[in-house]
A and B are shown apart, each in its own frame.
Chain A
Amino acid sequence: GENVEQHPSTLSVQEGDSAVIKCTYSDSASNYFPWYKQELGKGPQLIIDIRSNVGEKKDQRIAVTLNKTAKHFSLHITETQPEDSAVYFCAATYNNNDMRFGAGTRLTVKP
């Protein structure tokens, strides 16, 4: 089955700096890679996703890159703001329904 490793587990940045979170996956057949943001006391919410036929996707200050050869994908947040503080989860999906989540990264943006 799929195994997803996520690093770092905690990340602290100054407001305005960039933040990068990396995930690696084990199953080369995985084809869908979403990122979810979880604020305190809330359920996870999708912020961006990418499919295996695309190398990069951007949405305003958020971007995701995928390296299929190395089997890793990354979330990039630019010009961070205090409201970006949350726990971020990556996931990798095999065969449309076998999705495994990373352990999460707690991002703190200091004003």
Chain B
Amino acid sequence: NAGVTQTPKFQVLKTGQSMTLQCAQDMNHNSMYWYRQDPGMGLRLIYYSASEGTTDKGEVPNGYNVSRLNKREFSLRLESAAPSQTSVYFCASSERAGQGTGELFFGEGSRLTVL
């Protein structure tokens, strides 16, 4: 049971570099999400995709872009990384659209450090 798979698990970037975090789910879920987790701040939603072909901004979208490649895959791109983007990033999925419609299934996280 793979569930939600994120790659890479760890990444170190220099300020200004770009990178893409990959996420794939094998549960045939409709909705997918990207969160960041910072100490003392819980989880904050960056972007979400309610269904294949749609994406919307969350609470903290600045500096990020996303692509819902197909029903399984949802990627997060940092075009020009900044130290403020140092964080642990989590991808999640849910069967129905909306964070509040039921259980969110999370990946194991990607720890990103921007120097």
Contacts and interface: CB of A to CB of B under 8 A. Distances in A.
B100 A32 contact: yes
B100 A43 contact: no
Given A43-B108, A45-B106, A96 B100 contact: yes
B92 to A, nearest CB: 8
B44 A101 contact: yes
A100 B45 CA distance: 8
Given A101-B44, A104-B42, A43 B99 contact: no
Contact of A97 (B4, B100, B108): B100
| Among A42, A95, A99: residue with most chain B CB under 10 A | A99
A31 interface: yes
Interface in A35-71: 36, 41-46, 49
Contacts of A102: 42
Contacts of A94: 100
B40 interface: yes
A43 B25 CA distance: 14
Interface string B77-107: 0000000000000101000011111011011
B69 interface: no
B44 A43 contact: no
Contacts of B43: 44, 89, 101
Contacts of A103: 40-42
Interface string A15-46: 00000000000000001101010000111111
A93 B99 contact: yes
Interface of B: 4, 40-45, 48, 50, 59, 90, 92, 97-101, 103-104, 106-109
Q: Which 6 residue pairs are nearest across A and B when measured between Cβ atoms?
A: A43-B106, A93-B100, A101-B42, A99-B99, A96-B98, A97-B98
